[in-house]
Amino acid sequence: MAEVGKGVNAGKLASNVQKRITRAQEKVLQKLGKADETKDTAFEEEVAKFNKQLADGSKLQKDFKAYLAAVKTMHECSKRLHDCLAEMYDPEWFGKEEVDSIAEDTDLLWQDFHQNLVDNALISMDTYLAQFPDIKARIAKRERKLVDFDSARHHFTSIQKSKKKDEAKIAKAEEDLGRAQKVFEEINYDLQEELPTLWNSRVGLYVNTFQSVAGLEEKFHRDMGKLNLNLSDIMTKLDEQRLAKKGVMTASTGKSEEAANHNLSESGSDAPKSPAKSRERPPVSQPPRPASSQEVKQDNIIDLFEDAVVPEINISTQPQNEAPTVTNGSSDAELPPSVLYKVKAIHDYGATDSDELDLKAGDIVLVLAFANPDEQDDGWLMGVKESHWLQNKNLLAKGVFPENFTQKL
- Could you tell me if residue 295 is inside a domain? no
We report the CATH number of the domain holding residue 367 as 2.30.30.40
Query: What's the CATH code of the domain at 48?
Result: 1.20.1270.60
Is this prediction's pTM over 0.95? no
3-12, 20-29, 279-288, 375-384, range with the lowest pLDDT:
279-288
Contact 330, 321 (CB under 8 A): no
What whole-number distance in Å separates Cα of residue 299 and Cα of residue 235? Answer: 58
- Give the pLDDT band of residue 326 (cuts 50, 70, 90): very low
Domain boundary among 244, 264, 288: 244
**Which residue, 244, 272, 305, sits at the end of a domain?**
244
Please tell me whether residues 232 and 376 are part of one structural domain. no
DSSP state of 376: P
304 found inside a domain: no
The backbone torsions φ and ψ at residue 262, rounded to the nearest 5 degrees and listed phi first, read -65, -40
- Same domain, yes or no, for 73 and 222? yes
DSSP 287: P
Q: Are 237 and 379 contained in the same domain? A: no
Residue 301 in domain:
no
Residue 11 lies in a domain: no
**Cα distances (Å, whole numbers) of residue 169 to 153, 157, 160:** 13, 12, 9
Report which of residues 118 and 250 the model is more confident about: 118
Kindly state whether residue 198 falls inside one of the protein's structural domains: yes
Question: Within a 10 A sphere around the Cβ of 192, how many other Cβ atoms?
Answer: 15
CA distance 238 to 234: 6
Residue 234 lies in a domain: yes
pLDDT band, very low/low/confident/very high, at 89 (cuts 50, 70, 90): very high
Same domain, 29 and 146: yes
For the stretch 195-207, pLDDT in tens is 999 999 999 999 9
Per-residue DSSP letter, 366: E
253 within a domain of the structure (yes/no): no
Q: What integer pLDDT is reported at residue 396 of this predicted model?
A: 83
Which of 244, 277, 311 is at the close of a domain?
244
User: Are residue 89 and residue 201 in the same domain, yes or no?
Assistant: yes
Per the structure, how many domains does the chain have?
Answer: 2
- Evaluate whether residue 174 is within a structural domain: yes
First to last CA, the chain: 115
Mean pLDDT of 91-102: 91
Domain of residue 378 covers 339-408
d(CA 28, CA 47): 23
The 10s digit of each residue's pLDDT in 103-161 is 999 999 999 999 999 999 999 999 999 999 999 999 999 888 888 888 888 878 888 77
99 and 227 together in one domain: yes
